[in-house]
A and B are shown apart, each in its own frame.
Chain A
Amino acid sequence: MIPTLQIIDIAIASLLVLAGAGLSLFLSLNLGRGVIVAAARMVIQLLLLAVVLRILFALQNVWITLVAMAAMAIFAGLEVLARQDSQAGAKWTIGIGAGTMMASGWIVILPALAFLIEADPWYAPQVALPIFGMVAGSSMTGIALGLDSFATAVQRERNVIEARLAAGHTRFEALSTPIRQSVHRGLMPTINAMSAIGLVTIPGMMTGQLLAGADVMQAAKYQMILMFMIAGVSIIGVIGAVYAMAHRLTDHRHRLRLDRLQKRS
């Protein structure tokens, strides 16, 4: 069993950050303030998260758990928006990011909770929320990368896309190359993560289970299920988000609508 941590333990660990800030001051690196602010934010955010999770775990309510997942997806949508150089409207970008993540997350995670992990009850928030968080965090990166890559490709390839439209291609035929490139780009982090997992670091969920005293093989099996879920959600999420953005940047008359794309100021 892992020992119960006291405030003094946290304080001792924080000395490392303070030492780093001091070193930055000594070397005139101008990083000390940023490091301390980030460390303070991390402490506050994790405390708030612990308070919220404690309430959610105590409630054990299926609807509240689903609403919490939706809220996490909306925050992820905001993060997707923040990572775009060109946006097709803030509401659209957040909607596409959060909507695809929520849809793909529920399609993959809810059955996995019920039939693979066999949590009791199946919606048990202490299982569902951490898993959704890990899966949403990974797929969010893929969706943000896919959408940013798509917006860049569509602007760069505008003449080719319009030449194809002028030749009588449908909007999705004309956009097939940017769609393919963006989906590929968005899924690269997931593919790379699966290929490299376990070679350099012990993955997060497995580390957590090992610290909690779980059997190594059992922890590895849980990590495999998690990686399959991340891959599944990323594939569905990135494809869904890129196609939704392709739909947004064209209209019902199969016209390219780059006027809907705004460069971030």
Chain B
Amino acid sequence: MVLKANQVRTAVGTETSIVVPRGEIVVIRGASGAGKTLLLRRLADLDPGGGEVSLDGKDQLSFAAPQWRKRVCFVSAEPAFWQPSIIEHPHAEHIIDLGLGPKRLAASIAELSTGERSRAALALAMVRDPDVLLLDEPTAALDPQATHIVEHALTAFCGREKCVVMTSHDAEQPDRLGARTVELA
């Protein structure tokens, strides 16, 4: 067992419990407004809320919040960056390519497409080597080829005894990833 959430509030009046073992990808599904993003943010401790979240049996609150987020890393559906280019971010010299190439990694953030930003944010999160990746629609802005590259990278990531919790509206994606799906009411 690695990541466990017990009675976490995901929408007004709704609570969710989830257990994600190491090596597993879980795809959270549900209609817009069901609280998929809220669940990921709560797991990352970016929003206050009820319920308990733990990692390897250790309560979320026993970690300093920045330490927790280094191990349980959230990537937003609207990624943002705090350096002029991707390569200038910390540890970016070890970044996994994800089909971007050195020129795009050195390009100004403003020049990157939505899909490139999405892949760059995921690559920067992976280079920090977290135990859990929380991904909000990581392939929504990607073409099929880029989606395949990202899915391959996620599968490889989980092969290293880590896990992924992600949201997706792609009905076939869980099968391609060999993922378990959790439906939010």
Contacts and interface: CB of A to CB of B under 8 A. Distances in A.
B66 interface: yes
A167 B73 CA distance: 7
Interface in B17-55: 44-48
A254 B81 contact: no
B107 interface: no
Contact of B78 (A159, A170, A254, A256): A159
A163 B122 CA distance: 11
Contact of A177 (B48, B69, B70, B82): B82
Interface in A161-181: 162-170, 177
A158 to B, nearest CB: 8
Interface in A230-265: 251, 253-257
B76 A160 contact: no
B80 A160 contact: yes
A255 B124 CA distance: 21
Interface hub of A170, A177, A253, A257 (most chain B Cβ within 10 A):
A253
Interface hub of A166, A168, A257 (most chain B Cβ within 10 A):
A166
Contacts of B78: 159
Given A163-B121, A167-B73, A168-B128, A254 B66 contact: yes
B74 interface: yes
B65 A254 contact: yes
A256 B41 CA distance: 12
B75 interface: yes
B69 A168 contact: yes
Nearest to A169: B66
Contacts of A169: 66
A177 B70 CA distance: 21
- Please give me the 5 A-B residue pairs with the lowest Cβ-Cβ distance, nearest first: A159-B80, A168-B70, A254-B65, A160-B80, A163-B80
Given A159-B78, A160-B80, A177-B82, A166 B44 contact: yes
A162 B76 contact: yes
Contacts of B69: 165-168
Given A159-B76, A162-B80, A177-B82, 4 more contacts: A162-B46, A164-B82, A166-B125, A255-B65
A227 to B, nearest CB: 36
Contacts of B80: 159-160, 162-163
Contacts of A170: 66
B95 to A, nearest CB: 13
B46 A255 contact: yes
Contacts of B73: 166-168
Interface string B121-141: 100110010000000000000
Nearest to A168: B70
Contacts of B70: 167-168
Nearest to B80: A159
A160 B74 CA distance: 13
B145 interface: no
A225 to B, nearest CB: 41
B79 interface: yes
Given A170-B66, A253-B65, A255-B65, A165 B79 contact: no
Interface in A193-218: none
Given A166-B74, A253-B45, A160 B81 contact: yes
A16 to B, nearest CB: 54
A255 B42 CA distance: 11
B48 A253 contact: yes
Contacts of A251: 48
